[in-house]
Amino acid sequence: MADGSRLSARSWIPETANHHPVAAIIEYHPYGKSRATAISDACRYRYLAGFGYACIRVDIRGTGDSEGLITDEYTHQELMDGIELIAWVGNQPWCSGAVGLTGISWSGFNALQIAALRPPGLKAIISCCSSDNRYADDVHYLGGTVLAGDMLPWATTLQSICAQPPDASTLGADWQEQWLNRLENLPHFVEHWLSHPLRDAYWQHGSVCEDYSGIECPTFLVGGWADGYTNSILRLLENLSSPNLGIIGPWAHNWPDTASPGPAIGFLKEALRWWDYWLKGEDTGIMDEPQLRYWLAGPTSSSIAPQAGGWVAESCWPVREPTVVELAINQHGLASAPAEVTPVTIQADLGHGLNAGVWCPFGLSAQLPGSQNHDDETSQCFDSDALTKSLTILGNPSVDIEVASNKPFGHLVIRLCAIGPDKVSTLISRTAHNLNHSMDHSEHAILKPGVFKKLRINLDACASKVPAGHRLRLALSSSYWPLVWPTPETARLSIRSGSARLTLPLADSAVYERAFEQPEYARSLDYEVLQRPEFARSSDLQSGRYEVNQHSGTGRIRLPGGVESSSTSRDSYFLDRAGPLNCKVISRRSAEVSQSAGLSNTEIRSEMSADGIHFFVSTHLSVSFEGESFFTRQWDFKAARLDC
């Protein structure tokens, strides 16, 4: 880099590239190319290199085996390094000068963000499971409410990743000094996020929705309906002026060729069609595809098994002649016409949320929302009559509503469900909104108890075919633990039924005729599984105490060269239904790395709680090397609450 710091990369380059330069594809994130992503990287980038691409996987500054320090997500330094990286790759003798960025999650984010800076040489990007709006659609906030289920766990995971040692054989003799410098400067990531509870300049940085016109290169957007990041795909397809395509499958947070719920697709083959078109100038037919291809399934209980349904498509997004169904939210249910305006009280029950699942699931069945019947019992529900014909919902449902609280604060949680003839309630879409915030979450105000506030709230993007004979259910509540952090006191909300309405965007999409290929990869690394991965999630609601525990382990693997690694995580969520000030989240992470230089262990424990004014976070990091203490640190932090 320009300041002398070195970024570490692993490259897969065709043997003939020095004589016949090739286009290059870069992925750029902090998860450690020498350990965490080594197996997946080898399968994917050997494959693409085999079709004539130079593939480069780079560790972000201060992570993995790269020098320097990381200070936060998506910093100015990270993006500037990315621009330098593109220029460096484009100038190598084995590169034709055409460069693409690819990535999932973090690397999908920075692909969008770097593209918006228009670096010379960047010809196209693929962004999977990413966001155009860092405040509205990421693991920190949901509608201005703190994502209790994800914010602290993700911060703890990120600290654990960044605290692990680099590869001594890559960094050289002073690797321990560089590791210690990282540890001494390790950010307490959650401090950044809790310190910015409104959508201010902190979140606007890196949010490409601030100026969609910044992205001029062709953009391929990919995600899944079960993921937390799908809203962005539809917004980007609508607002980008550059050539773009989107695929949304039934998947959670993963690549489409390994994701669940299934079916998986041969995504690397689809990516090749994209790269060949934009980086090699070959007409592969990719740009003759419909702008949006998506999986349409009927309501069904969440499962990791392949879902019933099929691939359909829209030639353009948004559809040229959209149709909607508007249903009045009346006192006794959903109807085609409004009834008399009547106040309706929304139940205040802190036990609501038992079957919420997690905001960003990775496809494990226990992470996905299950039957909604329990949560329906702790909500105010508005049901339609049985449908006389099926409805295909595509896009963001919305609710126009007037809401009042008996407290100077409040959260409104909205779920849209389908009720089958068997009475099982299945989630279609949901959201939450902090009533103290403006609709764009840029301002905060104390509510006047009993005064109604008029809102139009968009639910998450969805695609669902609701068959004839099913009923629609709109479920309203004022809490959603452990997905959302509750208000300091349980607020009792009221709405004006009769004046409220639910709007459903409909589609009449054509069946997508060209079947996707089956997944295909290059051979993997010759690694050894020493211990298999594990996952468990349990919920308990007894005697007014609510507890959710989630435990996972990556297993233990030995990579070529002898490096062994393993990690475990445990997240616990506690809430006393007698009062929301008793709630807390505890996240624990442990990681062990054995390399030629020695054995290291990293342990992190973070705890988050709140009173009526502040959030409190306490984090302890302990690192040992060769059985002896190497580094310890304690962070204690508080941030003002803006949900009250």
pLDDT mean values, one per 10 residues, the chain (644 residues): 96 96 98 93 97 98 97 98 98 98 98 98 98 98 97 97 94 93 98 98 98 98 96 98 97 93 95 98 97 88 60 95 95 96 91 89 86 94 97 97 97 97 95 97 96 98 95 97 94 96 95 93 92 87 79 91 94 88 95 95 98 97 97 97 86
What pLDDT is attached to residue 306?
54
Q: CATH number for the 323-506 domain, one of 3.40.50.620, 2.60.40.10, 2.60.120.260, 2.40.10.10?
A: 2.60.120.260
Q: In which residue ranges of the chain is CATH 3.40.50.1820 found?
A: 9-139+211-314
The residue to which tokens 């100077």 are assigned: 408
Distance from C-alpha of 130 to C-alpha of 152, rounded to nearest angstrom: 19
CA dihedral of 357, 360, 361, 367, whole degrees rounded to 10: -20
Do the beta carbons of residue 148 and residue 573 sit within 8 Å?
yes
Distance from C-alpha of 455 to C-alpha of 433, rounded to nearest angstrom: 10
Do the beta carbons of residue 167 and residue 160 sit within 8 Å?
no
Q: What letter does residue 356 receive in the DSSP assignment?
A: -
Q: 43 φ, ψ to 5°?
A: -60, -40
Start-to-end CA distance of the chain, whole Å, equals 45
Distance from C-alpha of 518 to C-alpha of 520, rounded to nearest angstrom: 6
Q: 286 φ, ψ to 5°?
A: -60, -35
Q: Using alpha carbons, select from 154, 191, 118 the residue that is nearest to residue 31.
A: 154
Q: In which residue ranges of the chain is CATH 2.60.120.260 found?
A: 323-506
What pLDDT is attached to residue 227?
96
Distance from C-alpha of 249 to C-alpha of 407, rounded to nearest angstrom: 41
pLDDT in tens, 476-508: 999 999 999 999 999 999 999 999 999 999 998
What pLDDT is attached to residue 301?
46
What pLDDT is attached to residue 302?
46
The residue to which tokens 């593939």 are assigned: 55
Q: CATH number for the 9-139+211-314 domain, one of 3.40.50.1820, 3.30.479.30, 1.10.10.10, 3.90.1820.10?
A: 3.40.50.1820
What pLDDT is attached to residue 538?
85
Q: What is the DSSP string of 314-348?
A: ESSSS-SS-EEEEEEEETTEEESS----EEEEEP-
Cβ partners under 8 Å of residue 50, min gap 6: 14, 522
Q: How many CB atoms lie within 10 A of CB 598?
A: 14
Angle between helices 267-279 and 38-50 (to 10 degrees): 50
Contacts 24+ apart (CB under 8 A), 11-15: 11/54, 11/55, 11/56, 11/57, 12/45, 12/46, 12/48, 12/49, 12/54, 12/55, 13/49, 13/54, 13/55, 13/94, 14/49, 14/50, 14/52, 14/53, 14/54, 14/94
Angle between helices 175-184 and 151-163 (to 10 degrees): 150
Q: What letter does residue 253 receive in the DSSP assignment?
A: S
Angle between helices 76-90 and 106-115 (to 10 degrees): 80
The residue to which tokens 């509205």 are assigned: 136
Q: Which two tokens stand for residue 547?
A: 């507890």
